[in-house]
Amino acid sequence: NAGVMQNPRHLVRRRGQEARLRCSPMKGHSHVYWYRQLPEEGLKFMVYLQKENIIDESGMPKERFSAEFPKEGPSILRIQQVVRGDSAAYFCASSPQGSGGPNEQFFGPGTRLTVL
Amino acid sequence: KQEVTQIPAALSVPEGENLVLNCSFTDSAIYNLQWFRQDPGKGLTSLLLIQSSQREQTSGRLNASLDKSSGRSTLYIAASQPGDSATYLCAVNFGNEKLTFGTGTRLTIIP
């Protein structure tokens, strides 16, 4: 059973370009979470999705950031018009559908975004 | 506000010693707590998960405890090895699905 997969592992963009980060959850997992780790800071929650639904986006910046988890295919975190402050490691996690509440989250290797 | 704190930020110990890492959280109504390991430039490896109804979990040389009433968890590492050098992160699920992370303790095991 493959773990959580993220690609690309490293992404370089120039200011103003778009960044698309992909996450494939573990097989059988229907919950996806995105977290961001800024340089020298802790991980911060961004968004929680289930298939075709955004459940909690309270950690997402109000502008330029969006996320989706379609019925088929990976979850996508999209950053439009990137700025240098978006440079960070973006981690995806997945968990199985819970029977009584939150389950253990399994993390992918992350995508390291560098904005020039 | 629900917060997670890890002190100290960095810790160095000689190889072979036992050690304890600390995690504190502000709200005792947690759902579960996870300890992770992160190596430089790498992803997170889940070490132990403690549900709110549990008081401890063990895996090999690692033992994690949970005291909800005092808002604390500890990660005990026995017979430390240089390969244990990494940043250890504590993350709490306060019941709203998202994990709230501490800023981590950077552990160095001195050979």
Kindly give, in sequence order, each residue whose CB lies less than 8 Å from that of residue A40, ignoring residues fewer than 6 positions away: none
Q: Is the CB of residue A35 less than 8 Å away from at least one CB of chain B?
A: yes
**Residue A97, pLDDT score:** 73
The alpha carbon of B92 is separated from its chain's Cα centroid by a whole number of angstroms, namely 10
Q: Is the CB of residue A44 less than 8 Å away from at least one CB of chain B?
A: yes
The residue written with tokens 């600390």 in the block is B22
Largest interatomic CA distance in chain A:
45
Q: What is the pLDDT of residues B56-92, one digit of tens each?
A: 999 999 999 999 999 999 999 999 999 999 999 999 9
Q: How far is A42 from chain B (nearest CA, A)?
A: 5
Q: What is the mean pLDDT of residues A33-44?
A: 91
Q: What are phi and psi of B83, to 5 degrees?
A: -65, -10
Q: What is the pLDDT of residues A57-97, one digit of tens each?
A: 999 998 999 999 999 999 999 999 999 999 999 999 999 87
- Listed in order, strand segments (DSSP E) in chain A are 5-7, 10-13, 19-24, 29-37, 43-50, 53-56, 65-68, 75-79, 88-96, 106-107, 111-115
Rounded Cα–Cα distance for residues B83 and B14 (Å): 12
Q: What is the mean pLDDT of residues B38-66?
A: 93
Chain-chain contact of B89 with A56 (C-beta, under 8 angstroms): no
Q: What are phi and psi of B61, to 5 degrees?
A: -85, 5
The residue written with tokens 């019925």 in the block is A71
Chain-chain contact of A42 with B102 (C-beta, under 8 angstroms): yes
Q: Is the CB of residue A104 less than 8 Å away from at least one CB of chain B?
A: yes
Nearest-Cα residue of chain B relative to residue A36: B101
Q: What are phi and psi of A98, to 5 degrees?
A: -80, 155
CA-wise closest residue to A73 among A53, A52, A48, A104: A52
Strand A111-115 relative to strand A10-13, pairing:
parallel
The residue written with tokens 């097989």 in the block is A27
∠ CA A38-A40-A44, nearest 5°, is: 40
Q: Is pLDDT larger for residue A1 or for residue B76?
A: B76
**Residue B76, pLDDT score:** 97
Nearest-Cα residue of chain B relative to residue A58: B98
Largest interatomic CA distance in chain B:
42
pLDDT band for position A101 (50/70/90)?
low
